[in-house]
Structure 1
Amino acid sequence: WSQVLKKKLEGDTLPPKIVAVDLQAMAPLEGVIQIQGDITKLSTAEQIISHFEGELADLVVCDGAPDVTGLHDMDEYIQAQLLLSALNITTNILRPGGTFVAKIFRGKDVTLLYAQLKIFFPNVTCSKPKSSRNSSIEAFVVCQNYAPPKGYVPTMINPLLDLSYGSDNEFSSPNRMIVPFIACGDLSGYDSDMTYPLEKKSLDPLQPPISAPYRTAISLKQKNFYNKVS
């Protein structure tokens, strides 16, 4: 996303300030401030905020996702916590009227997230890119026109969302939030649920992983470590 934003904003009168955060090391990208850290930690949030030097951001995007376990309830919960951390940081650095875009897993409790996001953004849309598989619960929320509640004071200490809720929190019909759903993308392109034959000539990645977490596993597999009988 840093590359896309940098390309989109090239040529602006004022050079944009882009701050990128990732758990893994990132290849240097000219014009982008990079932070290797965990957005769920206060120290990382403070580091992000420090780069804005009192200024406010126009846009915050979050493509973070956990390493899925296959336990859908657990994966959805962890993803919601990542979105919570991104939203926490966003309330500290986003200007009024700004936009927040984040990956979301559309699980059974997703309506709670929608309702909480509507507290801060009057316009919340769930968008499903064409590049995302139909079988995947992945989608993106596009939250526009940031307008925090009157008297709200941003903090990095207290969580904004509490996913531990019971039936007593269910809203009656007049209070339910209906979030518009949009399937976006070019329908004439590749279908993400189809398998296509590989092209005869393959291209190497422009930037391979710097320190891939799966490197050790590949090395052990090449040495037939997993085939040995103890």
Structure 2
Amino acid sequence: IDLQNKKKILNLKIYNSIVLQMGKLSRDRRDIYYRRAKQEGFRARSAYKLIQIDEKYNIFDKVTRAVDLCAAPGSWSQVLSTKLLNNSEYNEGQPKETDQIDSNNGEAPLIVAVDLQEMAPIYGVNIIKGDITSQLTVSRILEYFQGKKADLVLCDGSPDVTGLHDIDEYIQNQLLVSSLSITSKIMRKGGTFVAKIFRGENISRIYQQMFCYFELVDCCKPESSRNSSLEAFIVCRYFKFDDQDSTNVNFEIPDPLTVPFISCGDLSEYDPDKTYETEYTSSLEPIQPPINAPYH
């Protein structure tokens, strides 16, 4: 390569680097939760959605066994670690014997995170690289819980959004059905299930499925979730079955079906759709870059 072409390549690399940095800085300024997550040590802004759901529903109360499905990069698992283990170190290490013990039954909280992608370690979290539709994953979770079942199952997973709402809603619903299927095998009677949904014209079918398995079903929108997004979260409480047997499920749901739609979080806090004036001159690096990302 001659000298002139080398200069062109170098200038192009410098230009791309500047554009990338400007893009990161623009998002830091535009999305207050995106920057706040990096400032406070969370791997993704979605951590605040779970925190705000808990503020409304107190979902961590009396929980000793929790599962985070589709967990990567791990922000919800970080919240679980913080809430259940009183942990302020978000990323590495394992709990000590002196960590929080549940006052109700003397058991130390156990947390499992499951994802097809690799995850960096999180304090007190047992990470399983596996498929939530696989029986092997079910067995590994129950083995870690020593045969006992989960009090709480979370799923913040979603496909890559296409922008075609009908397609996005359909794919998300299929993921939700898969997460419900594994939940029915690993959850104790009375447990709680929280998962992401995309609201669309077929959402009532999802509600009907959830009522087959749970006594109470709410739909909620955390304050940190953008108003412009179809995203919401379904909070299902009081799982109906001890040892799940599909033949015992009553699929006759009363009509009409009413599901409360709840706003979670302090409405006087930051607006995720608003651009705030800041004095930031540089962007913050991600807390945990992807490990072996499927694409770049």
**Gapped regions of structure 2 (runs ≥ 5):** 1-75, 86-99
Please list the CA deviations of residues 154-210 of structure 1 after superposition, one character each: whole Å capped at 9, or x if unmatched.
Answer: 59xxxx9xxxxxxxx9x9xx6121000011112222211122345235332222222
Q: Secondary structure at the match of 1:111?
A: helix
Aligned with 2:186 (options 64, 74, 93)? 93
Aligned with 1:206 (options 279, 282, 287)? 287
Aligned with 2:218 (options 89, 104, 125)? 125
Q: Aligned letter for 2:132? A: I
* Larger fraction in helix: 2
* CA deviation after TM superposition for structure 1 residue 212, in Å: 2.7
Q: Does 1:153 align with 2:235?
A: no
**Gapped regions of structure 1 (runs ≥ 5):** 161-168, 216-230
* Percent of aligned positions that are identical: 57
Question: What's 2:127 paired with?
Answer: 34
Whole-angstrom distance in 1 between the partners of 2:260 and 2:139: 34
Question: What's 1:16 paired with?
Answer: 109
Whole-angstrom distance in 2 between the partners of 1:151 and 1:49: 13
Question: What's 2:201 paired with?
Answer: 108
Aligned with 2:273 (options 193, 196, 206)? 193
Please list the CA deviations of residues 53-83 of structure 1 after superposition, one character each: whole Å capped at 9, or x if unmatched.
Answer: 3201110000010111222211111111111
- Whether the aligned pair in 2 keeps the contact of 1:127 and 1:183 (CA below 8 Å) is yes
Q: Aligned letter for 1:209? A: P
TM-score of the two chains, using structure 1 as the length reference: 0.78
Question: What's 1:7 paired with?
Answer: 82
How many residue pairs get aligned? The number is 199
Q: Does 1:57 align with 2:150?
A: yes
- Whether the aligned pair in 2 keeps the contact of 1:91 and 1:154 (CA below 8 Å) is no
Whole-angstrom distance in 2 between the partners of 1:23 and 1:186: 34
Q: Secondary structure at the match of 1:145?
A: strand
TM-score of the two chains, using structure 2 as the length reference: 0.62
When the two chains are superposed, the root-mean-square deviation of aligned CA atoms in Å is 2.4
Q: Aligned letter for 1:32? A: V
Q: Aligned letter for 1:212? A: A
* CA deviation after TM superposition for structure 1 residue 51, in Å: 2.6
Please list the CA deviations of residues 76-121 of structure 1 after superposition, one character each: whole Å capped at 9, or x if unmatched.
Answer: 1111111111111111111111100000111111101101101111
Whole-angstrom distance in 2 between the partners of 1:51 and 1:99: 19
